[in-house]
Chains A and B, each alone.
Chain A
Amino acid sequence: QQQVKQSPQSLIVQKGGISIINCAYENTAFDYFPWYQQFPGKGPALLIAIRPDVSEKKEGRFTISFNKSAKQFSLHIMDSQPGDSATYFCAARNAGNNRKLIWGLGTSLAVNP
Protein backbone atom coordinates (compact mmCIF):
# COMPACT_ATOMS: atom_id res chain seq x y z
CA GLN A 1 0.00 0.00 0.00
CA GLN A 2 1.44 3.31 -1.10
CA GLN A 3 1.31 5.60 1.93
CA VAL A 4 2.34 8.68 -0.04
CA LYS A 5 0.60 9.06 -3.38
CA GLN A 6 2.30 11.33 -5.88
CA SER A 7 0.82 12.73 -9.07
CA PRO A 8 1.17 13.18 -11.93
CA GLN A 9 3.61 10.47 -12.95
CA SER A 10 4.95 12.72 -15.69
CA LEU A 11 4.54 16.37 -16.57
CA ILE A 12 5.45 18.53 -19.55
CA VAL A 13 5.57 22.30 -19.09
CA GLN A 14 6.59 25.13 -21.34
CA LYS A 15 9.48 27.35 -20.33
CA GLY A 16 8.24 30.10 -18.08
CA GLY A 17 5.19 28.14 -16.97
CA ILE A 18 4.26 26.82 -13.54
CA SER A 19 4.92 23.18 -12.70
CA ILE A 20 2.72 21.66 -10.01
CA ILE A 21 3.27 18.26 -8.43
CA ASN A 22 0.94 16.90 -5.79
CA CYS A 23 1.28 14.42 -2.96
CA ALA A 24 -1.32 13.00 -0.62
CA TYR A 25 -0.90 10.99 2.56
CA GLU A 26 -3.04 9.21 5.11
CA ASN A 27 -0.92 8.87 8.24
CA THR A 28 -1.37 11.74 10.67
CA ALA A 29 1.88 10.77 12.39
CA PHE A 30 3.88 12.26 9.50
CA ASP A 31 5.79 15.31 10.74
CA TYR A 32 8.21 16.37 8.02
CA PHE A 33 7.67 16.63 4.27
CA PRO A 34 10.67 17.04 1.95
CA TRP A 35 10.93 17.25 -1.80
CA TYR A 36 13.95 15.82 -3.58
CA GLN A 37 15.14 16.53 -7.11
CA GLN A 38 16.97 13.89 -9.11
CA PHE A 39 18.83 14.37 -12.38
CA PRO A 40 19.71 11.37 -14.58
CA GLY A 41 22.73 9.50 -13.30
CA LYS A 42 22.72 11.32 -9.98
CA GLY A 43 21.29 10.67 -6.58
CA PRO A 44 18.35 12.71 -5.29
CA ALA A 45 19.13 16.08 -3.72
CA LEU A 46 17.03 17.84 -1.12
CA LEU A 47 15.18 20.73 -2.72
CA ILE A 48 12.87 22.10 -0.07
CA ALA A 49 11.02 20.78 2.97
CA ILE A 50 8.14 21.80 5.23
CA ARG A 51 6.76 20.92 8.65
CA PRO A 52 3.02 20.72 9.31
CA ASP A 53 2.91 23.84 11.49
CA VAL A 54 3.14 26.09 8.41
CA SER A 55 1.00 26.18 5.28
CA GLU A 56 3.57 27.42 2.79
CA LYS A 57 7.31 27.64 2.36
CA LYS A 58 9.07 29.43 -0.46
CA GLU A 59 12.67 29.21 -1.59
CA GLY A 60 13.38 31.10 -4.77
CA ARG A 61 11.18 29.73 -7.54
CA PHE A 62 10.17 26.68 -5.47
CA THR A 63 7.19 26.71 -3.12
CA ILE A 64 5.63 23.99 -0.99
CA SER A 65 1.96 24.38 -0.20
CA PHE A 66 0.73 22.27 2.71
CA ASN A 67 -2.90 21.49 3.55
CA LYS A 68 -2.98 19.64 6.86
CA SER A 69 -6.73 19.07 6.93
CA ALA A 70 -6.72 17.59 3.43
CA LYS A 71 -3.48 15.69 4.08
CA GLN A 72 -1.99 17.03 0.88
CA PHE A 73 1.12 18.94 -0.06
CA SER A 74 2.35 20.19 -3.37
CA LEU A 75 5.44 21.56 -5.05
CA HIS A 76 5.11 24.59 -7.27
CA ILE A 77 7.93 25.58 -9.60
CA MET A 78 7.44 29.12 -10.86
CA ASP A 79 8.97 30.32 -14.13
CA SER A 80 9.97 26.75 -14.98
CA GLN A 81 13.25 26.41 -16.87
CA PRO A 82 14.68 23.61 -19.03
CA GLY A 83 17.28 23.07 -16.29
CA ASP A 84 14.45 22.09 -13.95
CA SER A 85 13.82 18.99 -16.07
CA ALA A 86 14.33 16.16 -13.60
CA THR A 87 12.46 13.63 -11.50
CA TYR A 88 10.90 14.99 -8.34
CA PHE A 89 10.12 12.89 -5.28
CA CYS A 90 7.98 13.86 -2.36
CA ALA A 91 8.40 12.10 0.97
CA ALA A 92 6.92 12.10 4.44
CA ARG A 93 8.57 11.21 7.71
CA ASN A 94 6.74 9.02 10.20
CA ALA A 95 7.44 10.50 13.65
CA GLY A 96 6.20 7.33 15.29
CA ASN A 97 8.03 4.64 13.33
CA ASN A 98 11.74 5.13 13.74
CA ARG A 99 11.31 8.42 11.84
CA LYS A 100 11.16 6.40 8.65
CA LEU A 101 10.83 8.29 5.38
CA ILE A 102 8.02 7.18 3.10
CA TRP A 103 8.59 8.14 -0.53
CA GLY A 104 6.29 8.93 -3.39
CA LEU A 105 6.95 7.18 -6.71
CA GLY A 106 8.27 10.29 -8.42
CA THR A 107 7.25 12.71 -11.15
CA SER A 108 9.25 13.10 -14.31
CA LEU A 109 9.21 16.78 -15.30
CA ALA A 110 10.19 17.98 -18.75
CA VAL A 111 10.37 21.71 -19.40
CA ASN A 112 10.32 22.54 -23.08
CA PRO A 113 12.42 25.49 -24.25
Chain B
Amino acid sequence: GAGVSQSPSNKVTEKGKDVELRCDPISGHTALYWYRQSLGQGLEFLIYFQGNSAPDKSGLPSDRFSAERTGGSVSTLTIQRTQQEDSAVYLCASSMIATNEKLFFGSGTQLSVL
Protein backbone atom coordinates (compact mmCIF):
# COMPACT_ATOMS: atom_id res chain seq x y z
CA GLY B 1 0.00 0.00 0.00
CA ALA B 2 0.89 3.64 -0.19
CA GLY B 3 1.17 4.17 3.54
CA VAL B 4 1.35 2.43 6.90
CA SER B 5 -1.85 0.55 7.57
CA GLN B 6 -3.10 -0.33 11.04
CA SER B 7 -6.01 -2.51 12.02
CA PRO B 8 -8.42 -2.37 13.61
CA SER B 9 -8.86 1.38 13.70
CA ASN B 10 -10.92 1.03 16.87
CA LYS B 11 -11.04 -1.75 19.43
CA VAL B 12 -13.26 -1.94 22.48
CA THR B 13 -12.53 -4.75 24.88
CA GLU B 14 -13.31 -5.81 28.40
CA LYS B 15 -10.79 -5.71 31.18
CA GLY B 16 -8.85 -8.96 31.34
CA LYS B 17 -9.21 -9.86 27.67
CA ASP B 18 -6.31 -10.16 25.25
CA VAL B 19 -6.05 -7.94 22.17
CA GLU B 20 -3.95 -8.02 19.01
CA LEU B 21 -3.13 -4.92 17.02
CA ARG B 22 -1.78 -5.21 13.51
CA CYS B 23 0.57 -3.00 11.51
CA ASP B 24 1.38 -3.23 7.80
CA PRO B 25 4.41 -1.03 7.10
CA ILE B 26 5.34 0.61 3.83
CA SER B 27 6.78 -1.98 1.49
CA GLY B 28 10.56 -2.07 1.66
CA HIS B 29 10.81 -0.33 5.03
CA THR B 30 13.10 -2.37 7.22
CA ALA B 31 12.42 -0.54 10.48
CA LEU B 32 9.10 -0.64 12.32
CA TYR B 33 8.18 1.19 15.51
CA TRP B 34 5.32 0.96 17.99
CA TYR B 35 4.28 3.97 20.04
CA ARG B 36 1.47 4.64 22.50
CA GLN B 37 -0.30 7.98 22.74
CA SER B 38 -2.63 8.70 25.63
CA LEU B 39 -5.20 11.48 25.45
CA GLY B 40 -3.43 14.82 25.40
CA GLN B 41 -0.06 13.21 25.94
CA GLY B 42 3.03 12.87 23.87
CA LEU B 43 4.35 9.79 22.14
CA GLU B 44 5.54 6.94 24.32
CA PHE B 45 8.01 4.61 22.60
CA LEU B 46 7.24 0.92 23.07
CA ILE B 47 9.45 -1.18 20.79
CA TYR B 48 11.16 -1.13 17.42
CA PHE B 49 12.11 -3.79 14.90
CA GLN B 50 14.98 -3.93 12.46
CA GLY B 51 13.85 -6.65 10.11
CA ASN B 52 12.33 -9.32 12.34
CA SER B 53 14.56 -8.54 15.31
CA ALA B 54 13.68 -6.20 18.17
CA PRO B 55 16.90 -4.50 19.32
CA ASP B 56 15.04 -2.22 21.70
CA LYS B 57 12.08 -3.42 23.76
CA SER B 58 12.76 -1.00 26.58
CA GLY B 59 9.48 0.85 26.25
CA LEU B 60 7.15 -2.08 26.78
CA PRO B 61 5.27 -1.16 29.99
CA SER B 62 4.97 -4.68 31.40
CA ASP B 63 5.26 -8.34 30.49
CA ARG B 64 1.62 -8.22 29.39
CA PHE B 65 2.86 -6.44 26.26
CA SER B 66 4.63 -8.29 23.47
CA ALA B 67 5.23 -7.76 19.78
CA GLU B 68 6.50 -9.71 16.85
CA ARG B 69 7.29 -9.09 13.23
CA THR B 70 7.32 -11.72 10.56
CA GLY B 71 8.80 -11.75 7.06
CA GLY B 72 10.28 -8.34 7.66
CA SER B 73 6.83 -6.91 7.11
CA VAL B 74 3.67 -7.21 9.20
CA SER B 75 3.90 -6.67 12.94
CA THR B 76 1.50 -7.58 15.72
CA LEU B 77 1.37 -5.94 19.14
CA THR B 78 -0.34 -8.15 21.71
CA ILE B 79 -1.63 -6.97 25.05
CA GLN B 80 -2.64 -9.74 27.44
CA ARG B 81 -5.09 -9.35 30.31
CA THR B 82 -5.88 -5.78 29.34
CA GLN B 83 -6.28 -3.14 32.03
CA GLN B 84 -8.12 0.17 31.88
CA GLU B 85 -4.83 2.05 31.92
CA ASP B 86 -3.98 0.37 28.60
CA SER B 87 -6.62 2.54 26.91
CA ALA B 88 -4.81 4.73 24.40
CA VAL B 89 -4.04 5.14 20.71
CA TYR B 90 -1.41 2.69 19.56
CA LEU B 91 0.61 4.05 16.65
CA CYS B 92 2.85 2.17 14.29
CA ALA B 93 5.53 3.80 12.16
CA SER B 94 8.00 2.54 9.61
CA SER B 95 11.12 3.88 7.97
CA MET B 96 13.55 2.78 5.28
CA ILE B 97 16.31 2.09 7.79
CA ALA B 98 16.49 2.25 11.56
CA THR B 99 17.98 5.71 11.95
CA ASN B 100 14.82 7.29 13.38
CA GLU B 101 14.70 9.69 10.45
CA LYS B 102 11.64 10.12 8.28
CA LEU B 103 9.17 8.03 10.22
CA PHE B 104 5.90 7.32 8.44
CA PHE B 105 3.04 6.77 10.88
CA GLY B 106 -0.20 4.93 10.48
CA SER B 107 -3.46 6.41 11.77
CA GLY B 108 -3.35 4.24 14.86
CA THR B 109 -5.63 1.88 16.73
CA GLN B 110 -7.82 3.47 19.38
CA LEU B 111 -8.00 0.92 22.19
CA SER B 112 -10.68 1.28 24.84
CA VAL B 113 -10.66 -1.10 27.79
CA LEU B 114 -13.94 -1.10 29.71
Chain A residues packing against B (C-beta within 8 Å): 32, 34, 36, 41-46, 49, 89, 93, 98-101, 103-106
**Max count, chain A CB within 10 A of own CB: residue among B91, B99, B101, B104:** B101
B26 close to chain A: CB less than 8 A: no
Q: Give the total of B residues in contact with A, Cβ under 8 Å.
A: 20
Q: In the bound complex, do residue A45 and residue B105 qualify as a contact, i.e. CB atoms below 8 Å apart?
A: yes
Complex formed: what's the CA distance from A34 to B99 in Å? 12
B1 close to chain A: CB less than 8 A: no
Within the complex, the shortest CB–CB distance from A5 to chain B, in Å, comes to: 11
Secondary structure of the B contact surface, majority rule = loop
Q: In the bound complex, do residue A93 and residue B93 qualify as a contact, i.e. CB atoms below 8 Å apart?
A: no
Please pick, from B41, B45, B108, the residue contacting A101 in the complex, using a CB distance under 8 A.
Answer: B45
Within the complex, the shortest CB–CB distance from A22 to chain B, in Å, comes to: 15
Nearest-neighbor residue (CB-CB) of A6 within chain B: B42
Q: In the bound complex, do residue B93 and residue A89 qualify as a contact, i.e. CB atoms below 8 Å apart?
A: no
New contact pairs (7) apart from A100-B45, A103-B42, A106-B41, CB-CB < 8 Å = A32-B100, A34-B101, A36-B103, A42-B107, A99-B98, A104-B42, A105-B41
Which B residues are CB-close (under 8 A) to A32?
100-101
Complex formed: what's the CA distance from A100 to B105 in Å? 16
Complex formed: what's the CA distance from A43 to B23 in Å? 13
Nearest-neighbor residue (CB-CB) of B105 within chain A: A43
Which B residues are CB-close (under 8 A) to A42?
105, 107-108
B32 close to chain A: CB less than 8 A: no
Within the complex, the shortest CB–CB distance from A68 to chain B, in Å, comes to: 19
Q: In the bound complex, do residue B101 and residue A41 qualify as a contact, i.e. CB atoms below 8 Å apart?
A: no
Which A residues are CB-close (under 8 A) to B102?
46
Within the complex, the shortest CB–CB distance from A47 to chain B, in Å, comes to: 11
B43 close to chain A: CB less than 8 A: yes
